[in-house]
């Protein structure tokens, strides 16, 4: 039995990539950004957060407002979102391998709650925490460890982005990257997680073995 298992939400539990692209494109004219064509997604998947924002022309000062509007717009699309394939099927076994299980996300707690309840899996999670800043997960991970009375190395984070890996390394938390979300396998591997997996079955094995870090 492990200690605390923590999941990212967007791209890890919920397939939100196309919804995010659609929302960005709806907001783009208000900010003077170019819209994102589907053909551009493979290129963007190789970029870390800094390079992604630069490529899209998003200024740091515009980011909080953009995120707030995006989360509100996503709430209207929650009924159209699907879980990432195979993840919820493996979730009971993954949950059974940890004392506590939760979500740490840049999305809103309300959006996550609605989605998890709609798909009948909310009871598997002891907590849902929203990180207010895209780059602030390291501090939240340390706070979760403190709240759960364990050392950071006793947490296990599952995420789909380079920024997730960097936050975990900064916080001293073992992390596994999943390739079914936003960032590509190549980008994830370069960021230095303990392991990168392509399928939920591999993720379940990693959680049970706890061999990443």
Residue pLDDT, tens place only, 64-117? 899 999 999 999 999 999 999 999 999 999 999 999 999 999 999 999 999 999
Choose the catalytic residue: 8, 10, 160, 164. Answer: 8
The answer to whether the CB of 33 falls within 8 A of the CB of 23 is: no
Supply the pLDDT for residue 213.
47
Q: Calculate ∠ Cα 179-184-187, nearest 5°.
A: 120
3-class state of residue 130 by DSSP: strand
3-class state of residue 45 by DSSP: coil
Determine phi and psi for 15, rounding to 5 degrees. -85, 90
Number of Cβ within 10 Å of residue 131's Cβ equals 18
Spatial distance between the Cα atoms of 45 and 27, rounded to a whole number of angstroms = 20
- Per the annotation, the verdict on 8 as an active-site residue is yes
DSSP 106: S
Read off the pTM.
0.94
Percentages helix, strand, coil for the chain (3-state, rounded to 5) are 55, 15, 30
Q: Check pLDDT > 70 for residue 212.
A: no
Spatial distance between the Cα atoms of 169 and 154, rounded to a whole number of angstroms = 13
Q: Check pLDDT > 80 for residue 134.
A: no
């Amino acid at each position: 039995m492990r200690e605390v298992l923590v999941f990212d939400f967007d791209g890890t539990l919920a397939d939100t990539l196309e919804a995010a692209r659609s929302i960005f494109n709806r907001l783009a004219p208000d900010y003077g950004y170019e819209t994102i064509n589907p053909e551009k997604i493979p290129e963007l998947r190789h970029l870390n957060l800094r390079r992604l924002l630069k490529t899209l022309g998003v200024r740091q000062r515009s980011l909080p407002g953009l995120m707030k509007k995006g989360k509100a717009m996503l709430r209207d699309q929650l009924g159209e979102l699907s879980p990432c394939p195979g993840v919820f099927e493996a979730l009971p076994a993954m949950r059974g391998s940890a004392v506590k299980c939760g979500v740490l996300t840049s999305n809103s707690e309300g959006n996550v709650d609605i989605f998890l309840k709609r798909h009948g899996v909310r009871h598997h999670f002891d907590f849902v925490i929203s990180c207010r800043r895209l780059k602030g997960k390291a501090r939240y991970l340390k706070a979760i460890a403190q709240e759960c009375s364990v050392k950071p190395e006793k947490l296990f984070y599952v995420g789909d982005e380079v920024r997730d890996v960097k936050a975990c390394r900064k916080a001293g938390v073992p992390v596994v990257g999943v390739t079914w979300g936003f960032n590509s396998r190549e980008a994830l591997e370069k960021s230095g997680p303990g392991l990168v997996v392509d399928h939920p079955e591999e993720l379940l094995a990693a959680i049970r073995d706890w061999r990443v870090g």
